[in-house]
Amino acid sequence: MNTVIVVGAQWGDEGKGKVVDYFAKQANAIVRYAGGNNAGHTIVVKGETTILHLIPSGVLHKGKVGVLGNGMVVDPAVLLKEMEGLARKGVKLTSKNFFISERAHLIMPYHRRIDHAREKAKSKKGKIGTTGRGIGPAYEDKANRDGIRFVDLLNEDVFEERLRAALKEKNAYLKRVFKEPGFSFSAVRKEYLGYAKRLKRYVTDVSLLLDGMLVKGKKILFEGAQGTLLDIDHGTYPFVTSSNAGVGGVLAGCGVAPYFLQEIVGVIKAYTTRVGGGPFPTELTDAVGEHLRREGAEYGATTGRARRCGWFDAVVGRYGVRVNGFTGLALTKLDTLTGIDPIRICTGYRVGRKQITEFPADIRQMAQAKPIYEDLPGWKEDIRGARSLEDLPRNAIRYVKRLEALVGVPFFLMSVGPQRQQSIIIENPFET
C-alpha cells in the first residue's frame, strides 16, 4: 500500500511517535494533518529521547520529507526552535525535505493568552485542561474567518491588514473580559515578519506536492496527533481539542483525494490514559493507577502533567474502529501491565439501570457510566525482549487475543518497550 494513516484510538498519548517512527522507514513523506504543538511525540533511538511537537517524528529517519498540512495550527516560534533542536541532532530540514502548507494557520500570541485566560476563568469542573498553546483560539479564528495563514504572512500588506483587524478585537476582548493586557501591533508585526523571513522557503502548496508524489507511486505516511476521543466531532465534547484528530482530518487537513487513502492504523494503548478534564469511566485512582503511571512514565510530553490512568476500555476501542475504519491496530505499552493481576477489561457501561455497549454522545451519560469488567490473569515475566507473539507469556497472549476479539480488528504490531526495537511486528501495511 502507498498510504498509511496513523490515528490515536483513545484520548491521545497512545505512543503514536514510536509507531510513526517505525512505519516512516518505508515512507517517502510523513505528513501531520491536524493539531499543533499541543501534541508531543516521543521517540527513543539508541537510548536518546527526542520529543517533537510539530514536525512529523518520521523525519528522524534519513532521506524523508516532512510536511505540515493545512489542517494544522502552527506556532512559528515553536517550529523554529524545534528545527534548531533537530539540526543539533544532525537532522537538517531544508527547502527540499521540509514543507509547510501555505494554508496552515498561525498561532498568534493573543491565541495563547486567550487560551490561558479562559481556562483560568473556568470553574474547576468546567476546565478543559488545555495545553495552553493557543490551539482552541487559533482554530476558532480559522472557523470565524479571522485567522492568519502562512500565505497571508508572506504578503506584508495582507498580513498587516489582518493583524490590525485581529488586534482591534482581541485586545478589547482581553482587556474587557479578562482584564489582561493586549498586544502592540508593531511588536507582533516585527516578530512575525521575522518568522516569515526564516520560514518562507518551506511554505508551499501541500495538496499539489502530495498529489504529485502519490501519482508517482511514492509512499506517504499521515501522522495523527491527539486521539479519536479528543476529536472535535467524535470525541468527548466539550472535553476535546479543536481539530479533527481522527481520520476525517486527513482529507480536510492535507487536500489529498480520498481514493489515495488505504491503510488506517489505530494506535491503542494496552490500558487507557487521558490528560485534562472530562469523563473517564475506567479511571483508576488506586495503587494500580499509580503502577500504570509509574511504569508507563505517564507524564505529558508537552506539559509534563501526570496523566490519568485506567483499564483498557473496549467500548472506546470499538468506537474508534467504527468512526475511523481502522484496518489494523498497533497495541502499545503492553509491558506496563507486567506485574498486575488480575487485569481488567471494560466491555460495556452501566448507566443507571441501562447497560450500554456503544459510546454515548451525552457527556452526562459518560460521567455516570460505570464500567462492566471482565478479568483476565496477569503475568510477571519481563516481556520487553519479546519479538514475536510466541515469545510472550501465555497470559499476555490471552490478554492480547481478547482485546483483538473485543475491538474486532487485528493487531499489526505490539510495542513492548520504549526502544525502537522493542516491538512485535505482525504485519506491515506498507508491505501489503
Q: Are 383 and 396 in contact (CB under 8 A)?
A: yes
Min separation Cβ 239 and ligand IMP, Å: 6
Q: Which is nearer to ligand IMP, 9 or 343 (CB)?
A: 9
Min separation Cβ 309 and ligand IMP, Å: 13
Q: What are phi and psi of 158, to 5 degrees?
A: -65, -45
13 catalytic? Reply is yes
Q: Which is nearer to ligand IMP, 53 or 103 (CB)?
A: 53
Min separation Cβ 249 and ligand IMP, Å: 13
Which one among 249, 276, 317, 418 touches ligand IMP, defined by CB under 6 A? 276
Min separation Cβ 241 and ligand IMP, Å: 3
Judged by CB under 6 A, the chain residues 369 through 398 that form the site for ligand IMP are: none
Q: Which is nearer to ligand IMP, 136 or 371 (CB)?
A: 136
**Of 106-114, 188-196, 198-206, 236-244, which part binds ligand IMP (CB under 6 A)?**
236-244
Which one among 17, 56, 69, 136 touches ligand IMP, defined by CB under 6 A? 136
Q: Assess 133 for contact with ligand IMP (CB under 6 A).
A: yes
The torsion of the CA quartet 384, 386, 387, 392, rounded to 10 degrees, works out to -140
Q: Assess 129 for contact with ligand IMP (CB under 6 A).
A: yes
Which one among 153, 230, 323, 351 touches ligand IMP, defined by CB under 6 A? 230
Q: Are 229 and 269 in contact (CB under 8 A)?
A: no
C-alpha cell at 134: 493557543
Asked if omega into 342 is within 30° of 0 (cis), the reply is yes
Q: Assess 130 for contact with ligand IMP (CB under 6 A).
A: yes
DSSP string, 159-201: HHHHHHHHHHHHHHHHHHHH------HHHHHHHHHHHHHHHGG
Q: What are phi and psi of 309, to 5 degrees?
A: -125, 150
Please enumerate, as own/partner, the contacts of 194-200 that have beta carbons within 8 Å and a separation of 24 or more: 195/76, 195/77, 195/80, 195/153, 196/153, 196/154, 196/159, 198/80, 199/76, 199/79, 199/80, 199/100, 199/150, 200/154
Q: Residue 217: left (phi > 0), alpha (psi -120 to 50), or beta?
A: left
What are the helix (H) ranges across 25-134? 76-88, 109-121
- Contact string (CB under 6 A) for ligand IMP, positions 34-73, x = contact: ----xxx---------------------------------
DSSP state of 352: T
Q: β-strands 220-223, 272-274: how paired?
A: unpaired
Judged by CB under 6 A, the chain residues 149 through 208 that form the site for ligand IMP are: none
Q: Which is nearer to ligand IMP, 203 or 240 (CB)?
A: 240
Q: Assess 244 for contact with ligand IMP (CB under 6 A).
A: no
CA contacts within 13 A on the Cβ side of 3: 22
Counted residue by residue, the chain has a size of 432
Which one among 106, 128, 138, 199 touches ligand IMP, defined by CB under 6 A? 128
Q: Which is nearer to ligand IMP, 87 or 306 (CB)?
A: 306
Residues near ligand IMP (CB under 6 A), total: 20
Q: What are phi and psi of 429, to 5 degrees?
A: -60, -25
Burial state string for 85-98 with b = 16 or more CB within 10 A and e = fewer than 16: ebeeeebebeeebb
Q: Assess 279 for contact with ligand IMP (CB under 6 A).
A: no
Which one among 6, 7, 9, 13 touches ligand IMP, defined by CB under 6 A? 13
- Contact string (CB under 6 A) for ligand IMP, positions 253-272, x = contact: --------------------
Q: Which residues have a catalytic role annotated? A: 13, 41
Binding residues for ligand IMP, rule: CB under 6 A, are 12-13, 38-40, 128-131, 133, 135-136, 225-226, 230, 239, 241-242, 275-276
